[in-house]
Structure 1
Amino acid sequence: MPVVVDPSALGDYGAFPVELNRDWLGRVCHLGAADLEQVRRRTEERTQLGYALHLVTVRAIGTFLPDPTMVPTPVLAALARQLDITDAGALRGYQELAVRWRHSCEIRDRHGYRDFTAQPGRFLFTAWLYRQAWTDDVSPAVLFRAAHRHLLAEQILLPGHSVLARLVAAVRDRAARRLHARLAAAASPELVARLEKLLLVPEGARRSELDRLRRPPFTPTITGLVRALERLAQVRALGAGALDLSGLPSRRIAALARYADQSWATQLADLGSTRRVATLLAYTHLLTSSARDDVIDIFDVVFGDLQRSATHRGERRRVGELRDYDCAVGEVHARMRGGARCP
C-alpha cells in the first residue's frame, strides 16, 4: 500500500530553501582553507567548481543532486567568487564527466557522510526513530520532519522521501501494536469482560454504558454531587484505575483515551480485539482520575455556596440582633433619664 506523505512535511527535504538570504549563503556556502585546498587540487575550472558544488550541496541539503549543476544561481555565484572564477559557463559539461562520481565518493569519505542503508547506522537510526514513536503519539508529518533533522545532524545521506515515509509509517505501526499488546496483556479476563460490556446498550436504555460514563454530571447541587459520587464508584468498580501502567508511555495512553472519548461506541466495537481492549483500558484508567476531579469540583461549588449562604444568614441575624440591642439600650436610657428628673 503506498504511503502518502504530507506535502508540508516535504518542505525543504533534499532541496535548497526557496529563499536564500545573505546570512544563509555566508554560513552554508563558505569554503574554509581546507576546503579550498581540496578544491584547487583539480586542474580545470569546471572540475573545481563542480567539486565545490558537491561539497556545499551535501552540507546544505544532506544529499547529492543527480545533476550537480542544478543548484540555485546565488549558490553558484557565491562559490565562483571564492574560487576567482569569472567565466559564467565554466560549469558547462561537468554533469557529463565521470569524474563527478569520484568527487562525490571522495567528499563522502573525507567528511564522514554515510549511506542510509549502511550498518550499523541504519539500525541505530531505526532504533532512534522507534523511541520517538514509542514515547509520544506524534503525527507522521512531525515524525518525518524529526527524522529529517536527525539524518542531517548525523551526516547520513538522505534517502528518497518515499523510503523515509514508509519507514516512519512502519515504525509508528509497530509502536502502536506493541502498546496495544502490552495494555491488553495487563487486563485480566474479568476486566476485559467488564470493558467489553461498556459498549453494549442495556435493555430499555438509549445509550451504552460507555456513553453514560463519558458524560460527567455538571449540576452544582447536592443531587449533582451524589450522581458524581455514584459515577466515581461505578468507574472504580471496573478496576482499570488500580492497574500500574507506569511502565508505559503516559502520552500514548492519553492519546488512546482521547480517541475513545471522541469515538462512537460502535466505532470502538469495530476495532480489532487487542486494540479495542487497549483503548477501553486506557480510557477507563484515566477516567478514574477525571471522575474524582469532577467530584472535587462539584464539592467545591456546592459547599462554597452553602458556606456563603450560611455566612449571609448569620450576617442578617446579626444585623437583627444589633437592631434589637439598640432599641433596648434606647429604652433603658430613656427610662433612666426619666427617673433622674423625678423629685
Structure 2
Amino acid sequence: MTTIERTAYPCFKRLISTRELAEFYTPSVDEALWAREHTRNQPHHLLALLVMLKSCARLGWFPRPEKVPAVVVEHIRECAGLPVGTVAGLGPTRTAKRYREAVRSRLGLAFDPDKGRLLAAEAMERAVVIKSHGADLVNVALEEIVRAGLELPGFSTLDRMTGTIRTRTDNGLHARIVAAMSLEARARSASLPTVAAGERTSGFDALKTPAHKATRSRFRELAERMEWLDGLGDTVAWTAGVAPAKTAAFAAQARVLSVGEMLDIVEPKRTAMVACLAAEARAGQGRSCGDAPQARRSAPETCSGGVGGAPGAAQVADRAVDPVLS
C-alpha cells in the first residue's frame, strides 16, 4: 500500500500558509459573479459553490465538504463578503451534482472515470517494468490523466490499480528469472535459505553480507567468496532483460527477510528473489575487486567473474603480494 504523502497526488496540506490561501483560494471578482448567478445569491449555496470551485481548481478533484480545511472555507467566506457563521450547505444531492457539472465546465475538466482508469492502467503497465515503487506508478498515471484534462480518480483507486499491476508484472518477472536458470542453479538457490548441520548461518545469510573493500588482509576471504558466488551460476544470464531497478528491488526485498521468512515465500518468487540477491552480491563483489586494480592484475581469473574458472583461494592469496594491498 502506497501512502498519499509519498506521491504527487494533490491534497490539502496539514498547514496552509497565508500566501497559499491568497494565491490559490481567493475567488476573483469574475468567479464570485459566476457563483452568484448559479446560486441565485443564496449565502449557503454561494459559499459551497465557491469552495467547490477553488478546491477543484487546486486539486483536480472534488473533496468531500467535511474534508475541506476550515481555514480554507473561512478565507473564501471572508473574500465573498458573506456574514460570519455562514455554513457551506448544498441541500439536495441533485444540487451538488449540478454544481459539480458547472465547476467542471468552468475549469474545462472532463468527468470520465472509465477513460481515466484506462489511461492510468496503460501508463502503469509501461512504467512497472522499470519502476518498483508504488509512488512512481501513481505519479506516471497522474501525468497522463492531467494531460488528458480529466478529473482525477480517488487515490484509493490508483493505489489498488498499482498493487494489482505491480503484482502481476512482478510474478511474470519472477517466472522469467527462474526459467533462465538451469535445474542445478535452481537447486543450489533453493538450498541457500537453509542452515546445514554443524553450521550457524545459511548461504542466504552469506549472500546478504555486504562486500568488503579489497585489502591484503582480506584478499583470501574475498577470493573465496568470489569463487563461491561464481559457483552459484551465471547470475548475469539469470537477470538478462530485467531492468536493473527491478533486480535491485527484488534483492532488497530478500535482504530484509530472515531465513524463516524467506522459506514462507512461495515459488517461483523465492528462487527469483535469491537469484537477484546473488546477482547483486556478485556485482558488488566485482566492484570490490575493482577497488584494487593491482590485485585484479595479480589474479585476473578471480575478479573477472568467469564461472568455474576461478583458482583456489590459497593459490590466489599466494600470488597476491602487491604494495597496493598493503
* TM-score computed with the length of structure 2 as normaliser: 0.71
Between the aligned partners of 2:112 and 2:13, the Cα distance in structure 1 is: 22
Q: Relative to structure 2, which stretch is displaced further, 274-283 or 69-78?
A: 69-78
Q: Is the 8 A contact 1:195 1:277 kept in 2?
A: yes
* 1:278, distance to aligned residue in structure 2 (A): 0.6
> Mean alpha-carbon deviation: is it higher for 31-40 or for 226-235?
31-40
1:102 partnered with 2:115: no
Q: 1:263 aligns with which of 247, 257, 260?
A: 257
CA contact (8 A) 2:214 2:222 kept: no
**Does 2:295 align with 1:279?**
no
- Aligned partners of 2:200 and 2:325: how far apart in 1? 39
Once the two structures are overlaid, the 10-residue window that deviates more, 94-103 or 123-132, is 94-103
Assess, with a 3 A threshold, how the Cα gap between structure 1 residues 205 and 71 changes in structure 2: closer, same or farther: closer
8 Å CA contact 1:261, 1:283 repeated in 2 = yes
Matched residue type, 2:202: S
Q: 14, 22, 37: which is aligned to 1:18?
A: 14
Pair 1:307 & 2:326 matched:
no
Give the corresponding residue for 2:120: 125
Q: Which residue of 2 aligns with 1:169?
A: 163
- Give the match for residue 132 of structure 2: 137
2:285 maps to: 291
Separation of aligned partners in 2, 1:53 and 1:20 = 15
| Structure 1 residue 300: Cα displacement | 6.0
Q: How far apart are the structure 2 equivalents of 1:273 and 1:240?
A: 20
Decide which structure has the larger Cα Rg and report it. 1
Q: Tell me, what secondary structure is at the counterpart of 1:95?
A: coil
Q: Which residue of 2 aligns with 1:62?
A: 60
Displacement after TM superposition at 1:196 (Å): 2.0
Name which of 229, 244, 263 aligns with 2:223: 229
Q: Does 1:238 align with 2:232?
A: yes
1:192 CA drift (Å): 1.4
Unaligned residue ranges in structure 1 (runs of 5+): 311-343
SS in 1 for 2:114: coil
Task: Determine helix, strand or coil for the equivalent of 1:235.
Answer: helix
Deviations 1:267-297 (A, max 9, x none): 3333212011111111222222222333444
- Is the CA contact 1:198–1:208 (under 8 Å) kept in the aligned structure 2? yes
> Secondary structure at 2:37's aligned position in 1?
coil
Alpha-carbon separation, structure 1, partners of 2:6 and 2:251: 30
How many aligned positions are there?
300
Name the CA distance, whole Å, in 2 between partners of 1:12 and 1:126: 17
1:112 corresponds to: 108
The offset of 1:37, in angstroms, is 5.5
Q: CA deviation at 1:70?
A: 6.1
Q: Which amino acid aligns with 1:124?
A: L
Amino acid at match of 1:99: T
CA shift in 2, pair 1:12/1:72, >3 Å: farther
Preserved contact between residue 55 and residue 62 of structure 2 (Cα < 8 Å): yes
Unaligned ranges ≥5, structure 2: 296-316
Which residue pairs with 2:302 in the alignment? Answer: none
Name the counterpart of 1:51.
49
2:274 counterpart letter in structure 1:
L
8 Å CA contact 2:214–2:288 kept in 1: the answer is no
